Structure 1
Amino acid sequence: MRIFSRALRLILSLLGLGLAVVLYYVANPKLPDYVPVQQVHYQDQWSAADRQVYYFTPQGTQVKGLRYNWFSALELPFSEQRFAEPANLARFGFLVDPRQQATPQNPGNLPVGFARHKNAGSNDEFLDITCAACHTGELRFNGQALRIDGGSAQHVLPSSVPTLRGGSFGQALVASLASTYYNPLKFRRFAHRVLGDQYDAQYDQLRQDFKKSLDNFLKVAWNDTHRGLYPTEEGPGRTDAFGRIANASFGDAISPENYRIANAPVDYPQLWDMWTFDWVQWNGSAQQPMARNIGEALGVGATLAFFDSAGQPLQGDARYPSSVRVRDLNLIEETLQRLKPPTWPEALFGAIDKPLAARGRALFTENCAACHVPSVSEVNGRPVQQLKMLAVDYIGTDPGTASNIADQRYDLSALQWDPAELAQLNVELHPAPTEPLDLRSLSVAKGLAYVTAFVEEHAYRAAGITPTERPRLDGFGLPIGVRELRAYKARPLAGVWATPPFLHNGSVPTLYQLLSPQYERSRTFYKGTFDYNPRHLGYRTEAFKNAFLFDTSITGNHNSGHEFRAGKRGNGVIGRGLEPEERWALLEYLKVLGGPLEQQLP
C-alpha cells in the first residue's frame, strides 16, 4: 500500500509538473525578438489619407466580444507589461512604426489593422481586426523597412490551440485574458485602467462581461483542439481561410456535424489591381466584392445569428443580423481602387541592371506572359482582367485548397431555406445547376454565397442603403457569383517581388526558387522574419531565434508544381528548364514590371 501511495504521488507530481511546463510555454510564447528598424519607408502607392482609412476603418469584426479598451489594458501573464505594447505585438509579426504615436483613428497606438467600432444601440467599443492586418506587408534590409500597402502580412494570427511552441497571437491572447481574470491583483489593475472613476459602480458588471468573452475564447480553443480541426500548423503569414470561415459559420453557428478538417492554409494575397479581376480568391471562386468582404469579416469574427432565442431558424426579413458594416466595407473597397503596386526602391535594395532586365523582358514574353498577362475589357466602367485559371492537374501545386472547397459538403437544412426564395437572391452559380439544390449537402462556396446574400440584404436595410446605391456597394453591379474549380488563378505580376513567399500556400520562399525545378527548392526553411533578400527576391530563410520551421512534406505545405524543367507539359511542368543566368534576368525584369523603371529599359 505504501509503495502504491508513493507511486501515485509520484505520478501526480509528474502530471502537475507536466501541466506547469505546458502552462508556462502557453503563457510565454516562443517568439522572435523585436528589433526596431531605423526607419519605415512609405511609397506613393496612394495618399497618406488613403493609407489611414485602410489601416483603421472598422469592418464589423468583434474578436469574441473583446472590447478595445480591454485589449489596451491587458497585461502579459507574468508581468505588468501591457500585452498591446507595440513592441510585444510586433513579435507576433504585426506591423508597427517605431515613430508612430496614438491618433484619433488609432487611440490605442496599436499596429496596422487594429480598429474599433460600436454596434447600433450600444456604447461598447469592440476591438475590430480589419483586412489591413492581413493584407499589409513589410520588407526589411540593412536596418530599414519598406512598407508594402496591400501586400502579404507575416503575422501569426488565428490559432488559439495551445502548443508548447506557443507562437500564435490567439493562444497568447487567451493566456493573458485567463491570467487577468483568475489573478485578483491583475484584474484589479485592469479594472482601474478600464473603469477609472467608475471602478466601484461597474466592477461587477465588467467582471461578468469579461468572463463571457473569455469563455468564448476558451470554448473555441477547446473545440479546435479536441476535434483536431487544424492539423497543419499555419505559422507566419498563412491561414486556412475557407476552412475557418466554414467551421465558424456552419460548425459553430449551426451544427457540430458541420465541422471539417482545415488542412490547406494559404498565404494572404496582395490587393493592388484586385478590383479589376473578373474572379477573386486563390481558386477563382468569388465574384462580387461586397459578398467576398462580408465572408472575410464573418471569418475574422463578425457576429452572425441564424436562430432566434428559442432556437428556431430566423425567417423572412429577420435573416440574418450581423455586425458587418457595409458602408465601411465599401469605403475600404473603393479606397483600394486607388492602390498602386509597389515600385522597386533602388535607394534601399540596389540599382536595376537595365540590360539584364531587358533580356528578362524577352524571357518573360516567351515563358510567362501567356498565363500572367490577361486580356482586358471594359465592363460597366471598369477595366476587367480575365485571369487565366490553371487546373490543379496541370499546374501541379498543392491541391488541398482547391479540393477542399470543391469537395467538402455541409448540412444547412436546419436553416429551412425555401428553394424558391433562394432563386430570388442575387446569387449566380457557375455552371447553373441542372438539379435542385440539396441543402443537406452544400459546398462551402455555395453555402457562403447564400449566407452572405441574406446577411447582405439585412445589412443593407439596416444601413439604409437605397436601391440606387446598391449596385455601387455590391461592386459594379456584380452578382454574388460562385465557381468551384479545381484550379488556381494566374494573376498579373506587377509588384510580385514584394510578395514573398510564393505559390498559394507560401511553400516557395523566393522567386528564384519558383523559377527552378522542385528538386532545387528548399524542402524546409525558416519563416517569421521580415529580412529581405534583394538578390533572390524573398525573405531570408536561415535559422534564427524562435523561427518557424516550414516543412514542405506536410499536408497542405507541398512545394510541387509551377516548374520550369525538361519534360512533357502538365503535371506541374509549365515550361522549359531555365538556365541560372536566365532566371537572374527574369528576376531583374520582375523588379520593374508594371512600374516606371520598365519604361527606361533599352
Structure 2
Amino acid sequence: MRLFYRVLLILLAAVAGLIAVVVYFTAHPHLPAYQAPQQLHYLDQWSPADRQTYYYTPQGTQVKGLRYNWFSALELPFSQQPFAAPEYLARFGFLVDPQQKASAANPGNLPVGFTRHSNPGSTVEYLDITCAACHTGELRYQGQALRVDGAPAQHVLPSSVPTLRGGSFGQALVASLATTYYNPWKFERFAHAVLGDDYQAQHKQLRREFKTALDTFLAVAWNDTHRGLYPTLEGPGRTDAFGRIANASFGDAISPDNYRVANAPVDYPHLWDMWTFDWVQWTASAKQPMARNIGEALGVGATLNFFDSHGQPLQGDARYPSSVRVHDLHLIEETLQKLKPPVWPEALFGQIDRPLAAKGRALFTENCAGCHVPQVKDEAGRRVQQLTVIALDVIGTDPNTANNIADNRYDVSALQWDPAELAKMNVTLFPHSDEPLDLHQLSVAKGLAYITAFVEKHAYDAAGISPQEQDRLNGYGLPIAVQEVRAYKARPLDGIWATAPYLHNGSVPTLYQLLSPQSERDETFYRGTFEYDPRHLGYRTEAFDGGFVLDTRISGNHNSGHEFRAGPRGNGVIGRLLQPEERWALLEYLKVLGSPLEQQVPAL
C-alpha cells in the first residue's frame, strides 16, 4: 500500500509539473524581441488618408465579444505591463510605427488593423480586427523598415490552442484574460481602468460580462485542442482560412458533427490589383467582392446567428443577423482599388542592375509569362484579368488546401433551407449542375456561398439599401459565384519581391529558391523575422530567438511543385532547369516588373 501511495504521489507531482510548465509557457510565450527600426519608410502606394482609412475602418468583427476598452486595460499575466502596449504586441508580428501616437481613429494606440465598432442601437465598443492586420507587410534591412501596404503580414494571430512553445497572440490573450479574472488584484485594477467613476455601480455587471467572454475563449481553446482540429501549426503569416471559417460556421454555429480537421495553412495573399481579378482566393473559388469580404469578416469573428433563442432555425427575412458592416466593407474595397503595387526602393535595397534585368525580361517571357501574364478584357468598363488556374497534378504544390475545399462536406439540414428558394438566390455555382443540392453533404464553398448570401441580404435590408445600390456595393453587379477545382491560380507578379514567403502555403522562403529545384530548397527554415534579403528576395531564414521553425515535411507545409528542373513536364515540373545566372537575371527583372522602373530597363 505504501508503494501505491508513493507511485500516486509521483504521478500527481508529474501532472502538477506538466500543468505548471504549460501555464508558464502560456503566460510567457516564446516570442522574438522587438527592436524599433531606426526609421520607418512608407512607399508611395496611395495617399496617407487612404492608408488611415484602410488601417482603421471597422469590418464588424468582434473577437468573441472582447470589448475595446477591456483589451486596452488588460495586463500581462505576471506583471502590470499593459498587454496592448505597442512594443509587446509588436513581438507577435503586429505592425506599429515607433512615432505613432493615439488618435481619434486609433485611441488605444494599437497596431495596424486594430480598431473598434459599435453595433446599431448599442454604445458598447468591440475590438474589431480588420483585413489590414493580415494584409500589411513590413521589410527590415540594415536598421531601416519599409512598410508595404497590401502585402502579407507575418504575425501569429489565430490559434488559442496551448502549446509549450507559445508564441500565438490568441494563446497569450486567453492567458491575460484568465489571470485578470482569477487574480483579484488584477481585476480590481482592470475594473477601475474600465469603469472609472462608474466603478461602484457597474463592478458586478462587468465581472459577469467579462466571465462570459472568458468562457467563450476557453471553450474555443478546449474545443480546438481536444478535437485536434489544427494539427499543422500555422505560425507567423499563415492560417487555414477556409478550415477555420468552416469550423466556425458549420461546427460552432450548427453542429459539432461538422467539425473537420484543418491541416492546410495558407499565407495571407497580397491585395494590390485584386479587384481586377476574375477569381480570387488561392484556389480561384470566389468572385463577388462583397461576399468575399463578408466571408473574411465572419472568419475573423463577426457574429452570426442561425437559430432563435429557443433553438429553432431562423426563417424568411430573419436570416441571418450578423455584425458585418456592409458600408464599411465597401469603403475598404473602394480604397483598395487605389492601392498601387510597391516600387523597389533603390535607396534602401540597392540599385537595379538594368542590363541584367533586360536579360531577365527575356527569360520571364520564355518561362513565366504563359501563366503569370493573364489575358485582359473589358467588362462594363471594368478591366478584368482572367487568371490562369493550374490543376494540382500540373503545379504539384501541397494539395491540402485544394483537396479540403473539394472534398469536405457539411450537414446544414438543421437550417431547413428550401432548395427552391436557394435556386432563386443571387448565387451561381461552377461547374453548373442540374443535380439537386444535398443539404446533408454540402461543400464548404457552396455552403458559405448561401450563408453569405443570406447574411448579405439581411445586412442590406437592415441598412435600408436599395437593390440598385446593392449591385454597386456587391461590386460590378456580380453574383455570389463559387467554383470548386483541385487547382491553384497563378496571379500577376507585379511587386512580387515584397510578398515573401512563396507558394500558397508560404513553404518557400525566397524567390531564388522558388526558381530552383525542390532539392535546392530549404527543408526547414525560420519564419517570423522581418529582416529582408534583397539579393535572394525573401525574408532571412537563419535561426533566431523566438522564431518559428517551418518544417516542409509536414502535411500542409510541403514545398513541392512549381519546379524548374530537368525532366518531363508535369507532377510539379513546370519548366526547364534554370542556371544560377538565369535565376539572378529573373530576380533582377522581378524587382521592376509592373513598376515605373521597368521603363528604364533597356531592350536587348
What TM-score do the two structures reach when normalised by structure 2? 0.99
Aligned to 1:444: 444
Structure 2 distance, partners of 1:278, 1:13, is 60
Could you give the per-residue CA deviations for residues 221-258 of structure 1, whole angstroms, max 9, x where no partner exists?
00000000000000000000000000000000000000
Q: CA deviation at 1:568?
A: 1.2
Structure 1 distance, partners of 2:392, 2:601, is 35
The residue identity in structure 2 corresponding to 1:229 is L
The residue identity in structure 2 corresponding to 1:260 is R
Q: CA deviation at 1:477?
A: 0.4
Q: Secondary structure at the match of 1:385?
A: strand
Q: Secondary structure at the match of 1:140?
A: strand
Q: Secondary structure at the match of 2:160?
A: coil
Aligned to 1:532: 532
Q: CA deviation at 1:428?
A: 0.2
Structure 2 distance, partners of 1:411, 1:515, is 42
Aligned to 1:305: 305
Q: Secondary structure at the match of 2:591?
A: helix
Aligned to 1:26: 26
Structure 2 distance, partners of 1:14, 1:586, is 56
Aligned to 1:483: 483
Q: CA deviation at 1:21?
A: 1.3
Aligned to 1:575: 575
Give runs of aligned pairs for residues 40-439 of structure 1, distance below 5 A: 40-439=40-439
The residue identity in structure 2 corresponding to 1:237 is G
Could you give the per-residue CA deviations for residues 511-556 of structure 1, whole angstroms, max 9, x where no partner exists?
0000000000000001110000000000000000021000000000
Q: CA deviation at 1:9?
A: 2.4
* Structure 1 residue ranges without an equivalent (≥5): none
Aligned to 1:594: 594
Q: CA deviation at 1:47?
A: 0.4
Q: CA deviation at 1:44?
A: 1.0
Q: CA deviation at 1:465?
A: 1.1
Structure 2 distance, partners of 1:577, 1:12, is 59
Q: Secondary structure at the match of 1:567?
A: coil
Could you give the per-residue CA deviations for residues 467-492 of structure 1, whole angstroms, max 9, x where no partner exists?
22111100010000010010000000
Structure 2 distance, partners of 1:15, 1:442, is 43
Structure 1 distance, partners of 2:95, 2:460, is 33
Q: Secondary structure at the match of 1:137?
A: strand
The percentage of counterpart residues that share the same residue type is: 77
Task: Say what the alpha-carbon RMSD is for the aligned residues.
Answer: 0.6
The residue identity in structure 2 corresponding to 1:256 is P
The residue identity in structure 2 corresponding to 1:128 is D
Structure 2 distance, partners of 1:2, 1:523, is 52
Structure 2 distance, partners of 1:129, 1:588, is 36
Q: CA deviation at 1:408?
A: 0.4
The residue identity in structure 1 corresponding to 2:156 is V
Q: Secondary structure at the match of 1:468?
A: helix
Q: Secondary structure at the match of 1:185?
A: helix
Aligned to 1:550: 550
Structure 2 distance, partners of 1:557, 1:468, is 44
Q: Secondary structure at the match of 1:526?
A: strand
Q: Secondary structure at the match of 2:513?
A: helix
Could you give the per-residue CA deviations for residues 172-201 of structure 1, whole angstroms, max 9, x where no partner exists?
000000000000000000000000011000
Q: CA deviation at 1:13?
A: 2.1
Structure 1 distance, partners of 2:468, 2:562, is 45
Structure 2 distance, partners of 1:434, 1:467, is 28
* Structure 2 residue ranges without an equivalent (≥5): none
Q: CA deviation at 1:12?
A: 1.7
Structure 1 distance, partners of 2:298, 2:547, is 30
Q: Secondary structure at the match of 1:469?
A: helix
The residue identity in structure 2 corresponding to 1:97 is D
Could you give the per-residue CA deviations for residues 282-325 of structure 1, whole angstroms, max 9, x where no partner exists?
00000000001000100100000000011010000000000000
Structure 1 distance, partners of 2:460, 2:254, is 23
Structure 2 distance, partners of 1:13, 1:351, is 62
Q: Secondary structure at the match of 2:282?
A: coil
Aligned to 1:497: 497
Structure 2 distance, partners of 1:259, 1:283, is 21
Structure 1 distance, partners of 2:223, 2:415, is 22
Q: Secondary structure at the match of 2:317?
A: helix
Q: CA deviation at 1:14?
A: 2.3
The residue identity in structure 1 corresponding to 2:414 is A
Structure 1 distance, partners of 2:601, 2:409, is 51
Structure 2 distance, partners of 1:601, 1:285, is 36
The residue identity in structure 2 corresponding to 1:435 is E
Structure 2 distance, partners of 1:102, 1:508, is 38
Question: Number of residue pairs matched?
Answer: 602
Structure 1 distance, partners of 2:33, 2:551, is 22
The residue identity in structure 2 corresponding to 1:275 is W
Q: CA deviation at 1:11?
A: 2.3
Structure 1 distance, partners of 2:308, 2:69, is 30
The residue identity in structure 1 corresponding to 2:274 is M
Structure 1 distance, partners of 2:495, 2:445, is 29
Q: Secondary structure at the match of 1:171?
A: helix
Structure 1 distance, partners of 2:595, 2:463, is 40
Structure 1 distance, partners of 2:327, 2:465, is 9
Structure 2 distance, partners of 1:438, 1:11, is 51
Structure 2 distance, partners of 1:14, 1:507, is 37
Is 88-97 or 459-468 further displaced after alignment?
A: 459-468
Structure 1 distance, partners of 2:374, 2:260, is 35
The residue identity in structure 2 corresponding to 1:483 is Q
Structure 2 distance, partners of 1:565, 1:12, is 57
Structure 1 runs of 4+ off > 2 angstroms? 1-11
Structure 1 distance, partners of 2:398, 2:12, is 45
Q: CA deviation at 1:4?
A: 2.7
Please state if 1:464 is matched with 2:445: no
The residue identity in structure 2 corresponding to 1:519 is S
Q: CA deviation at 1:123?
A: 1.0
Give runs of aligned pairs for residues 553-568 of structure 1, distance below 5 A: 553-568=553-568
The residue identity in structure 1 corresponding to 2:36 is P
What TM-score do the two structures reach when normalised by structure 1? 0.99
The residue identity in structure 2 corresponding to 1:517 is P
Q: CA deviation at 1:584?
A: 0.1
Is 346-355 or 19-28 further displaced after alignment?
A: 19-28
Q: Secondary structure at the match of 2:285?
A: coil
